[in-house]
């Protein structure tokens, strides 16, 4: 499509129907109408110093900003938004910035995931209720990315995501230190007695030393990569460091491009197709991406009307992991960008026949047009497809009597020797019990046992917290053991690692079989066979179920709304009433 095509048709308030001629933009239902209503919409906007000619029918671009000082990964977004505005003005549009709820993983309790759906509602209703024709989504700390994509998808206006970019590599005492991943490593070292508390505190400023999100291939970097692989961001969106001037250039180019997208009526449903999601799943495997991408992409697909299930993640199960980044590998996102970034990975996937090359992207080109000439400048960071970092690294979907609706594990972050394991369950009913008992030397546990945590799922925590990567018992760590099989209905940070089975569905709080596991039960894990089995008879499980009772639900407020309506992990943990889309019909006048 060319940028000189006619703009999208106007939408009559309250009808969703289009007006044939003259074609107008959606914002003209506010700014282009005569009389009292038009006066009100324009006059108060002019109090900001906006000239009258800015309401002449040019595209109005909303800049959806998740800036917050409580979300340190997004603390530079005010500056980034200014570069977006430059681009919008250059292309002949009118940029209008608006805030939405920001989700900082490090500060929000009980978990940022508790508020992903709420933030998506904020985005959806802000877009629909306001005079905008297209949207730039400023995303960073990991839940802001799916929240903004989900909310925008439910409106389906032309939209383009700009990620804030990863931090610079952490450096501590001459060594590279990865955000998140370093925390798990060093905290275990402190508990094992091999790192002092003083050194642990010193490392705080060394790990996170610049603006930006986690520079490991955690969930933030994974979701920034998903934005690019889905076609919802410009090339190199995933990896340009936040402090690199090229991140600002990308934001400015995005501002220019969203104006063109409005003129072409390039809406999200034309980009977020089944092919796009399959590309993203295979890309997630190739980069060793986070398990959290599973729930986010399933939820996003269901907002835009694409059927995507947990089983579809097996599309990536045989895809080689070619990106050698922490937590699965050695390097960090800054190194990834210098090596060629995601375009170099996508080119390898395309050449291996693992990419839908014709998938459309926000710049109007196909995904293959964007990446076919991408170069790999460092084969240590981005390994060749023929000699990959890890041969099969996609998300593995497990099933069995312990997880009838499925569970997931990330083999690339696991210990190979534990991917087939039978062990005695040591059960923790909730996170408080785990913290209370895990360092008690009287705890009857060794490295051959399987740690089981209940009450960490969407309803049970509530919010589906990142607590699945349980700390190992201190007495096991003192033996030099660094991994054990762990099973829960929770999630884990994308920066974490280990042989960790996650997202067990149905969760314990919903009456899933996980609720019935007792200490001493034998559990079998066989990742190659995709099997997760509780070695307890059906008769015994039925007896236990009769004695089980559901946890008490919250009585009021958002917690009640959440627990009453959140779907299970295998369905994306969205709210049941948000699945689907409502479009961007112009509402009734407000006066």
Specify if 584 maps to a domain.
Answer: no
Specify if 590 maps to a domain.
Answer: no
Query: What angle separates helix 292-304 from helix 144-153, to the nearest 10 degrees?
Result: 10
pLDDT (tens digit, 9 = 90+) per residue, 118-150?
Answer: 999 999 999 999 999 999 999 999 899 999 999
Task: Choose among 317, 349, 323: nearest CA to 336.
Answer: 323
Element of type H or E holding 262: helix 245-264
Domain that holds residue 219: 28-167+215-371
Specify if 302 maps to a domain.
Answer: yes
Task: Choose among 340, 391, 347, 404: nearest CA to 373.
Answer: 347
The structure's pTM equals: 0.93
Count other C-beta atoms under 10 Å from residue 53's C-beta: 8
pLDDT (tens digit, 9 = 90+) per residue, 433-466?
Answer: 999 999 999 999 999 999 999 999 999 999 999 9
Same domain, 484 and 453: yes
DSSP three-state, residue 161: strand
Specify if 583 maps to a domain.
Answer: no
The answer on pLDDT for 12 being more than 50 is no
Q: How many domains does the chain have?
A: 3
Residues 44, 591: Cα–Cα separation, whole Å: 14
Average pLDDT taken over every residue of the chain: 94
Specify if 378 maps to a domain.
Answer: no
- Cβ atoms of 155 and 125 within 8 Å: the answer is no
Residues 292, 119: Cα–Cα separation, whole Å: 17
Same domain, 358 and 452: no
Q: What is the DSSP letter of 53?
A: G
- From start to end of 470-540, where are the E strands? 485-488, 500-505, 522-526, 531-534
Residues 36, 39: Cα–Cα separation, whole Å: 5
Same domain, 161 and 254: yes
Specify if 569 maps to a domain.
Answer: no
Q: Is 44 exposed, middle or buried (0-12, 13-18, 19+ CB in 10 A)?
A: exposed
| End residue of a domain, out of 348, 371, 394 | 371
Same domain, 481 and 365: no
DSSP three-state, residue 32: coil
Same domain, 309 and 458: no
Residues 62, 78: Cα–Cα separation, whole Å: 14
Same domain, 188 and 222: no
Q: What is the pLDDT of residue 301?
A: 98
Answer whether the bond into residue 397 is a cis peptide, omega within 30°.
no
Specify if 160 maps to a domain.
Answer: yes
Collect all residues with Cβ–Cβ distance below 8 Å to 416 and sequence separation of at least 6: none
Same domain, 412 and 266: no
Residues 534, 541: Cα–Cα separation, whole Å: 10
Q: Which structure tokens are listed for 391? A: 């041969």
pLDDT (tens digit, 9 = 90+) per residue, 328-366?
Answer: 899 999 999 999 999 999 999 999 999 999 999 999 999
Same domain, 322 and 409: no
DSSP three-state, residue 466: strand
Answer whether the bond into residue 213 is a cis peptide, omega within 30°.
no
List the CATH number of the domain containing 433: 3.50.30.80
Residues 237, 221: Cα–Cα separation, whole Å: 10
Same domain, 180 and 102: no
| End residue of a domain, out of 371, 389, 415 | 371
Q: Which structure tokens are listed for 553? A: 């639900």
Same domain, 482 and 517: yes
Specify if 563 maps to a domain.
Answer: no
- With tokens 């996650």, the residue in question is 502
pLDDT (tens digit, 9 = 90+) per residue, 216-268?
Answer: 999 999 999 999 999 999 999 999 999 999 999 999 999 999 999 999 999 99
Same domain, 300 and 331: yes
**Residue 23 pLDDT class (50, 70, 90 cuts):** low
Same domain, 496 and 442: yes
- With tokens 């993640």, the residue in question is 313
């Amino acid at each position: 499509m060319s940028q000189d095509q006619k703009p999208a048709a106007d939408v009559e308030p309250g009808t969703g129907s289009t007006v044939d001629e003259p074609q107008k933009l959606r914002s003209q239902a506010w700014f282009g109408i005569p009389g009292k209503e038009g006066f009100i919409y324009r006059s108060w906007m002019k109090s900001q110093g906006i000239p009258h000619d800015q309401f002449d029918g040019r595209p109005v671009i909303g800049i959806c900003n998740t800036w917050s000082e409580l979300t340190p990964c997004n603390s530079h977004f005010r500056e980034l938004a200014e570069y977006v505005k430059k681009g919008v003005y250059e292309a002949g549009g009118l940029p209008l910035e608006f805030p939405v709820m920001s989700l900082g993983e490090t500060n929000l309790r009980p978990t940022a995931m508790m508020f992903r759906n709420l933030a998506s509602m904020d985005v959806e209703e802000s877009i629909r209720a306001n005079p905008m024709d297209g949207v730039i989504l400023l995303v960073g700390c990991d839940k802001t990315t799916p929240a903004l994509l989900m909310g925008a998808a439910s409106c389906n206006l032309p939209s383009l995501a700009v990620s804030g970019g990863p931090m610079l590599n952490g450096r501590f005492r001459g060594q590279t230190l990865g955000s998140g991943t370093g925390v798990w490593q060093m905290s275990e070292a402190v508990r094992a007695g091999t790192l002092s508390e003083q050194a642990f505190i010193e490392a705080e400023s060394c790990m996170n030393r610049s603006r930006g999100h986690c520079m490991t291939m955690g969930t933030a970097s994974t979701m920034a990569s998903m934005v690019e692989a889905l076609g919802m961001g410009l090339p190199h969106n995933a990896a340009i460091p936040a402090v690199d001037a090229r991140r600002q250039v990308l934001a400015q180019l995005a501002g220019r491009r969203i104006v063109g997208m409005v003129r072409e009526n390039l809406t999200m449903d034309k980009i977020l197709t089944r092919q796009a999601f399959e590309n993203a799943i295979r890309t997630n495997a190739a980069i060793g991406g986070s398990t959290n991408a599973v729930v986010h992409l399933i939820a996003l697909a269901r907002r835009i009307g694409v059927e995507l299930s947990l089983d579809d993640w097996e599309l990536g199960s045989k895809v080689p992991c070619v990106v050698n980044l922490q937590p699965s590998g050695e390097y960090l996102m800054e190194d990834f960008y210098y090596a060629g970034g995601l375009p170099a990975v996508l080119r390898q996937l395309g050449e291996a026949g693992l990419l839908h090359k014709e998938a459309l992207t926000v710049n109007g080109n196909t995904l293959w047009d964007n990446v076919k000439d991408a170069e790999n400048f460092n084969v240590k960071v981005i390994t060749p497809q023929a000699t990959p970092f890890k041969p099969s690294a996609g998300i593995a979907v497990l099933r069995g009597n312990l997880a009838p609706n499925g569970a997931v594990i990330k083999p690339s972050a696991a210990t190979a020797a534990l991917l087939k394991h039978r062990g005695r369950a040591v059960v923790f009913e909730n996170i408080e019990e785990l913290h209370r008992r895990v360092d008690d030397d009287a705890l009857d546990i060794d490295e051959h046992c399987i740690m089981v945590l209940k009450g960490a799922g969407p309803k049970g925590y509530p919010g589906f917290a990142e607590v699945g990567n349980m700390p190992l018992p201190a007495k096991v760590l003192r033996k030099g053991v660094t991994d054990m099989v762990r099973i829960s209905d929770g999630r884990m940070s994308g920066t974490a690692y280990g042989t960790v089975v996650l997202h067990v569905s149905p969760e314990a709080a919903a009456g899933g079989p996980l609720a019935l596991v007792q200490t001493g039960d034998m559990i079998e894990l066989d990742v190659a066979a995709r099997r997760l089995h509780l070695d307890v008879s059906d008769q015994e499980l039925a007896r236990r179920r009769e004695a089980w009772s559901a946890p008490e639900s919250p009585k009021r407020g958002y917690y009640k709304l959440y627990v009453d309506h959140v779907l299970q992990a295998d369905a994306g943990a969205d709210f049941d009433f948000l699945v689907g889309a409502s479009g961007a019909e112009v509402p009734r006048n407000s006066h």
